[in-house]
Structure formats: structure tokens, C-alpha cells
Homo-oligomer: A and B are copies of this chain.
Amino acid sequence: MATIEDVARLAGLSRTTVSRVINDQPYVTEEKKEKIMDAMQQLGYVPNSSARRLRSQRTETIAVLLPRVTNPFFGHLIESMERKASEYGYQVIVCQTHDKKQKELDYLQLLKTKQVDGVVMASLTNDWDVIEPYLESGPIVLCNEYMDSDQVSMIHIDHRQASYDATAHLIEQGCTRIAYATGAQETHITRQRKEGFLQALTDFNLAFDENLEIRNALDVKDGQGVFSFLQEQEEKVDGIFTGSDEVAAGIIYAASQSGFTIPEDLAIIGFDNQMISLLMVPAITTVRQPVEEMAMKTIQVLVEKIKKEQPEDEQQIVYNYELIKRKSTERMSMKESASS
């Protein structure tokens, strides 16, 4: 591999001057500049990024922590983040935590060891006091996660309110015994959603049977399991709030094989407005999050923090969500609003 030294020698100039050309700095005569360009061409010279990193203390790389890419919500998130980061000239490292605390910390280590300039946490399972020390090594921005701290910027929707609205909608459709399926470990987001869910029940004078809370429901397969669980219940469950369209789809799939009628026998609500929620028969009522905007904003905020010397005020940016009502909750008994 040719180095800057080789180029300098071939061009009959110093490393400094070559460096100036590489970095588009002023104070180099056109003539010498051309000479250097020629030399670089001839040698097929490319600056070594490890050396640049060491010297400049910047990596132009961002780590994005998320549970798993195969969850379409996070797939979309990282797709947009990578695109945006790429525009800013940043690389993106995928860090799948699989909701494991240890994995999360391992990846945060990238910040400490200066392998990345900043971190996006779209997965947050550790307690804040464990995460906080990492802030010394570089900026962290939360996306789709919330933390009761004024030391980080956060980009998210109001999950509490969204799940309140969704639950209220189920109730308005005549559901009285509603189950609650949640994904993964308890994170702040899931706590918020649960709160909204419970609040809606309370406001409508309904009780929540703790036995109807299902944990670790993540994908279609889990959804099928959830359906079996619901079917086993002695007292009939007539509605379910799921934290994911995939789980909702799994329930519908299993239900249709058991001759169950959705939404008459069971009204179902999903989350995230994935393609699948539109394609299922019946189509799934869901909550749309502006994923792309959130992703791009997150990168923007992070990159700004990386570039600024003096720490700015942390921002908490709350995006609007939208409850999209579809057939999976449109119960005959109450002929209400519809579709899309």
C-alpha cells in the first residue's frame, strides 16, 4: 500500500503538502497540486483511515443499538438511519442486543474504545445509572426509548397516550375483557404503554385481569401461541392489545385456522403499521409511528452533538402517532368508523 510518504517522494514534495491536497486545504499552487494528484493516481494512493482516526480522534462512525433487525420496525429504522448517516458521511455499525443487558453494554464499549463517535440506543434494557457513565466517552441519543433524565436527547412518540387511545378504541368497540400482550423485557417504553392501557381500562370502569398479561410476545409464531393461550381461558376474552403487528398477525392466522371470527369473537389491535397489518384478512388496526422522520431526526441530532464542542441542551422530541382503524376491531355490534 502506498502511503502519503510515497506520494510525497514521487511528487518531489513534502508529506505536509500532500496532506493539504488530500484535505482540500488552501495555500497550494495549482502546479504542485497537479503534480501531487498525478502521483496519487500513479500509485493508486488512498489515505489510510486508521491513521486518520488516530490522528484526528474521530471515526465518522455511529453505532445503532437495537433488539433485532428482523423486527420490521427496527428494520425500517436502521434503513433510514443508514441512509441519513451516509449523507452526513458516517458509517453505521449494526448492534443487535437481542434484548440482552450484557450485549447492550458490550456494544456501548464501542464508544469507550473510540470505535464510534456516537451511539443511538433504540434498545434500552439496562438501568440508566449503568448507561450514564458511558456519556463521558461520547454522545448517546435515544430513539423510540424514553429515560427520565435530562442528560440525553430522546426522539419518540407518546407511547402512553398511543396505547391509551388504542385501548379506548377497543373498549368503544364493545370489548370488556381485554388481554395485553407485550414484547421482550420491561423497558421504559413498555411500562409507558402498560400505563396507558391500564388508565384506559380504569377510565372506562373496566378491571384488568393480571392473568391476561402475556410477556415476550415478539413475532408471528409468538402470536400463534398467544391465541392458544386465549382460547384456553375459561372466561371469554373479547379483545387484545398487542405491542406488535407481527404478534397480531400470528393471532389472526391461528384464529382463522380454528374457525374463530375476528373481530366478532376477538378484536385485535397491533402496533407500528407494518405492511402486514394492511395485508392480513382482516386488516389490523394499528398505531403508525413516523419511523423515517424519527430515524432521520435521531441521526441529525446525534451528528450535531458529535460536531459541536460545547454541549447543547438536550432535546426531547415527541412525534405524532396515528391510530389507524381497520377491520380487526370493527365489531358489528357497534357499527363504527372504518378502514383505510
| Contact bitstring A27-56, B, C-beta under 8 A = 1, else 0 | 000000000000000000011111101100
Per the bound structure, the CA–CA distance linking A246 and B276 in Å amounts to 10
List the B residue with the shortest CB-CB distance to A220: B275
Q: Which of B50, B113, B114, B280 interacts with A279 by CB under 8 Å?
A: B280
Contact B70 A79 (CB under 8 A): yes
Interface window among A8-16, A92-100, A151-159, A318-326: A92-100
Is B54 in contact with A51, judged by CB distance below 8 angstroms?
A: yes
Is A82 an interface residue when CB atoms closer than 8 A count as contact?
yes
Judging by beta carbons under 8 Å apart, are B110 and A91 in contact?
Answer: yes
Given A70-B72, A281-B281: A79 touches B50 (CB 8 Å cut-off):
no
Do the beta carbons of B48 and A114 come within 8 Å of each other? Answer: yes
- Cα–Cα distance between A27 and B91 once the two chains are bound (Å): 39
Number of copies: 2
Which B-chain residue is minimally distant from A69 (CB atoms)? B79
Chain B residues with Cβ below 8 Å from A86 are 96
The one of B48, B109, B110 in contact with A113, judged by C-beta atoms closer than 8 angstroms, is B48
**Which listed residue (B51, B79, B276) contacts A68, Cβ 8 A?**
B79
* In contact, B82 and A113 (Cβ under 8 angstroms): no
User: Which residues of B are found within 8 Å of A49, using beta-carbon distances?
Assistant: 113-115
Closest CB of chain B to A41's CB: distance in Å?
A: 14
A126 to B136, CA, bound (A): 43
Q: Does A119 contact B (CB under 8 A)?
A: no
Chain B residues with Cβ below 8 Å from A91 are 93, 110, 115
Flag if B94 contacts A82 (CB, 8 Å).
Answer: yes
- Is A83 among interface residues, defined by CB-CB distance under 8 A? yes
Q: Type the 1/0 row for A245-271, where 1 means its CB is closer than 8 Å to any CB of B.
A: 010010001001000000000000000
User: Which residues of chain B come closer than 8 Å to A59, judged between CB atoms?
Assistant: 50
- A68-86 interface bits toward B, Cβ cutoff 8 Å, 1 = contact, 0 = none: 1110100110110011001
Docked complex Cα distance between A49 and B92 (Å): 17
The answer on a CB contact under 8 Å between A76 and B72 is no
Does A82 lie within 8 Å of B69, measured CB to CB?
yes
Query: Is there a chain B Cβ closer than 8 Å to A297's Cβ?
Result: no
Extra inter-chain contacts (19) besides given A48-B54, A92-B94, A219-B275, CB under 8 Å: A49-B114, A50-B114, A50-B115, A69-B82, A70-B79, A72-B72, A72-B75, A78-B94, A82-B94, A86-B96, A91-B93, A91-B110, A220-B275, A246-B275, A249-B279, A253-B278, A253-B279, A276-B276, A279-B280
What are 26 A-B interface contacts by the 8 Å CB criterion? A1-B114, A47-B113, A49-B113, A49-B115, A50-B50, A50-B114, A53-B53, A53-B54, A54-B54, A69-B69, A69-B78, A69-B82, A70-B75, A72-B72, A72-B75, A78-B94, A79-B96, A83-B96, A86-B96, A91-B93, A92-B93, A219-B275, A220-B279, A253-B278, A275-B276, A279-B280
